[in-house]
Structure 1
Amino acid sequence: MLIPINFLLSLICLLLLVKRWQAGWVWRGLLLLCLIHSLNAGISTLLDSAIWHKLQPVTGAMLPLACLLALREQQGKPLRYGLSVLPVLLMAATVTGFPQAIDVLMPVIWFACAGLMLTSLKAGSDVLPTVALERSVPTVKTWRWLAIMLIAVALLDVAVSLLVNFASGTGVQLLLFCGNLLVCAVLSLSLVLAPANPVQPEPVLSRQPDTGDHDILIGIERLMQEGLYRRTDLNLGLLARKAGIPARRVSAAINALRQQSVSQYVNGWRIREACERLRREDGTVIEIMEEVGFLTKSNFNREFRRVCGTTPSEWRKFASEQTELTR
């Protein structure tokens, strides 16, 4: 059952690799690694060859490291190539010289990468300056789920090792089946996160507010008044470039003076216009949603409820009733 899944996933990786070739070399590397790992997993199941079995731990160690590098690039952080290569070299040396240590080293690498990913995502949607604000929240959630799955795979790896060493391998096949499914899920999420266009990151670093925050916010609000928030492709990097201010300062100023993330701040402008248009226009909710800058109805409804405490349809009905009472 797992063989066709691995080969099907390999085909999907290949198609995405061709389609998203312009996404940048880090993402090309991640997609290529997903292709090699899933293909190797299928071949290893079919062929009892030492070469394929030795390659699998190396690609397995590279996978969480590639995910971490891809996240760092999307966050606009420097890519630490040396730290990423060392675990792979260590795994390759372990496979050839001391294979008994593979079961210890593999979960350590996966746990470490997952922990670093979760730590870097603590600040929420503002840590992804190149992602459109409309997609920043679900993208952060997807990255968190990916990190959690890395931890789950590592835990299963530890459980398999314990069963083999202390319980004569009882239940190993079931855990391996679950582990392979989780790895497939990790690969699938990696594919979902791969951008269609090149990533041009701008670093976002947290800092204490300073006296220039008010001036920065004045400039940002001038852009909002000009309707910049209506752009569906708006992200922190684009907002910073329009304002001529580093992205980290834009984010810090909005956080300090509005106690909001950049995504919440921009969506607040969108919701205010949507409220006004729902009150005085007859257009459908979907039409108004798209014209103020939202791409999906689910995100529009969620943000509308966050700001107004109700749904767009309920708000329109209430506003209509209030208008009738004042006539």
Structure 2
Amino acid sequence: MIFIPLPFVVAFLLLLLLGAVLRSKENSTGNWAFLTLIGVCALQSVVVGLRWGYHVEELRYLLPVVASCLPPLVLASFRSLIHSDDAVVSRTRWLHALPPFGIVVLVLLAPVLIDAALIAMFVGYALAVLDLGRSGPDALDEARFDSAVAAHRALVIAAAALCLSALFDLAVLLDFEWSKGANVALMVSNANLLGLFFIGLMAIVASRARARPVAVQGAPSNPFETPQDREVFDHINRLLADQKLSRDENLTLSRLARRAGVPARQISGAVNRLAGKNVSQYINDFRIAEACRLLRETDMSVTAAMFESGFQTKSNFNREFRRVTSLSPASWRERNRPLRFT
């Protein structure tokens, strides 16, 4: 029987998921970091399978270099869901090439330090990723509102997966100290792949939260030089109610801020303090209210009502619908449709 190492199975699954993302209408050129991250996860799985499944010893030099590419890509991926100054990003992007370069230097000059360096790198980047989302889903202001919560959860899980990988690297280091590496093959070729798979899976979840690019229009002048929470809140409500802005499936906090002429942080603060929830939940409340109206007053299907109200995926729609109404869309319609007499 042909032996197929588990890493090859993981790589195959990741490549299937990558293909699904590439074929999806939700894919855009802005997803390059997520797509690269998934590809690197698949590559590392293949390298692990060849190194520990078929004992291709030469790959022991390549494996730590590929592994060192993952943390910077995780950070870059989730940072792409946050609006930033492109000039600043372009000036600092090259810094994230230093970790792989540093590992190459250690491979050549001090291999004994590689494991410790990878552990520090994975934990450090995990903390940096968590710092990106420290203010909750509103921090991901380039994520669509219907997917911001899922993207934030993916961020947290991806950071945990980086820590998990660091934990397994530590276990490998200790195994070499205590039992001369007797259990390394099992840990690296099987257990460590759990972290890889989670990173790839979370990259796919978060990549789908990114809004499709639209033509950038000139931002209106900011009418609120020193806005108060109530003024900002009322202005946002007028945009959502009068201009039906909540139905825009690609609406993000960053785009809402441009339309309102108000900094995203002020919008987030006003909604947090006056509505007691994050902006994505607040926008989705408008969408669920519209979906409920459609389900109650029309014969539109649940799926059609989902798209019409601004949602793009059934999972996000059902989750938010239950959060607001405590019922599924079908159950809510059954209970709230007016009686019709013939």
What SS is found at the alignment partner of 2:126? Answer: helix
Q: Rate the CA distance shift 1:25–1:118 in 2: closer, same or farther, 3 A.
A: same
Please tell me whether the aligned partners of residues 274 and 292 of structure 1 are also in contact (alpha carbons under 8 angstroms). Answer: yes
Please tell me whether the aligned partners of residues 16 and 31 of structure 1 are also in contact (alpha carbons under 8 angstroms). Answer: no
What SS is found at the alignment partner of 1:134? Answer: coil
Matches within 5 A, 1:225-236: 225=241, 226-236=243-253
Moved more, 220-229 or 26-35: 26-35
Moved more, 33-42 or 165-174: 33-42
Please tell me whether the aligned partners of residues 13 and 32 of structure 1 are also in contact (alpha carbons under 8 angstroms). Answer: no
Paired position in structure 1 for 2:237: 221
Moved more, 92-101 or 286-295: 286-295
Paired position in structure 1 for 2:167: 155
1:31, distance to aligned residue in structure 2 (A)? 5.7
Q: Distance in 2 between matches of 1:6 and 1:317?
A: 43
Q: Rate the CA distance shift 1:194–1:42 in 2: closer, same or farther, 3 A.
A: farther
Q: Distance in 2 between matches of 1:319 and 1:198?
A: 38
1:54, distance to aligned residue in structure 2 (A)? 1.7
1:13, distance to aligned residue in structure 2 (A)? 9.1
Q: Rate the CA distance shift 1:67–1:310 in 2: closer, same or farther, 3 A.
A: same
Moved more, 41-50 or 249-258: 41-50
**Is 1:59 the counterpart of 2:66 in the alignment?**
yes
Amino acid at match of 1:220: I
1:124, distance to aligned residue in structure 2 (A)? 2.0
Q: Rate the CA distance shift 1:34–1:17 in 2: closer, same or farther, 3 A.
A: farther
Q: Distance in 2 between matches of 1:245 and 1:315?
A: 36
Alignment match of 1:287 (pick from 281, 300, 304): 304
Q: Distance in 1 between matches of 2:335 and 2:155?
A: 38
Q: Rate the CA distance shift 1:247–1:37 in 2: closer, same or farther, 3 A.
A: same
Q: Rate the CA distance shift 1:314–1:135 in 2: closer, same or farther, 3 A.
A: same
Q: 1:99-121: per-residue Cα shift (whole Å, max 9, x none)?
A: 11112111111111112212322
Q: Distance in 2 between matches of 1:67 and 1:182?
A: 12
Amino acid at match of 1:103: D
Q: Rate the CA distance shift 1:218–1:154 in 2: closer, same or farther, 3 A.
A: same
Matches within 5 A, 1:1-327: 1-2=5-6, 4-5=8-9, 8=12, 22-23=29-30, 26=33, 30=37, 33-34=40-41, 37-38=44-45, 40-41=47-48, 44=51, 46=54, 48=56, 50=58, 52-77=59-84, 79=89, 80-81=92-93, 83-176=95-188, 177-194=190-207, 211-225=227-241, 226-320=243-337
Q: Rate the CA distance shift 1:67–1:237 in 2: closer, same or farther, 3 A.
A: same
1:159, distance to aligned residue in structure 2 (A)? 0.9
Q: Rate the CA distance shift 1:137–1:96 in 2: closer, same or farther, 3 A.
A: same
1:256, distance to aligned residue in structure 2 (A)? 2.1
Moved more, 53-62 or 39-48: 39-48
Amino acid at match of 1:318: R
Count how many residue pairs are aligned between Structure 1 and Structure 2: 314
Q: Rate the CA distance shift 1:313–1:212 in 2: closer, same or farther, 3 A.
A: same
Please tell me whether the aligned partners of residues 21 and 28 of structure 1 are also in contact (alpha carbons under 8 angstroms). Answer: no
Q: 1:213-271: per-residue Cα shift (whole Å, max 9, x none)?
A: 22222221111112111121111122122212222222222112212211111111112
Q: Distance in 1 between matches of 2:98 and 2:214?
A: 25
Amino acid at match of 2:96: S
* % identical aligned pairs: 31
Moved more, 31-40 or 176-185: 31-40
Q: Rate the CA distance shift 1:38–1:112 in 2: closer, same or farther, 3 A.
A: same
Paired position in structure 1 for 2:221: none
Q: Distance in 1 between matches of 2:20 and 2:123?
A: 27
Q: Distance in 1 between matches of 2:34 and 2:336?
A: 48
Moved more, 172-181 or 225-234: 172-181
Structure showing the higher helix proportion among its residues: 1
Q: Rate the CA distance shift 1:161–1:260 in 2: closer, same or farther, 3 A.
A: same
Tell me, which stretches of 5 or more residues in structure 2 are unaligned?
217-225
C-alpha RMSD of the superposition: 3.3
Q: Distance in 2 between matches of 1:315 and 1:43?
A: 53
Tell me, which stretches of 5 or more residues in structure 1 are unaligned?
202-209
Q: Rate the CA distance shift 1:174–1:44 in 2: closer, same or farther, 3 A.
A: closer
State the TM-score, normalizing by the size of structure 2.
0.78
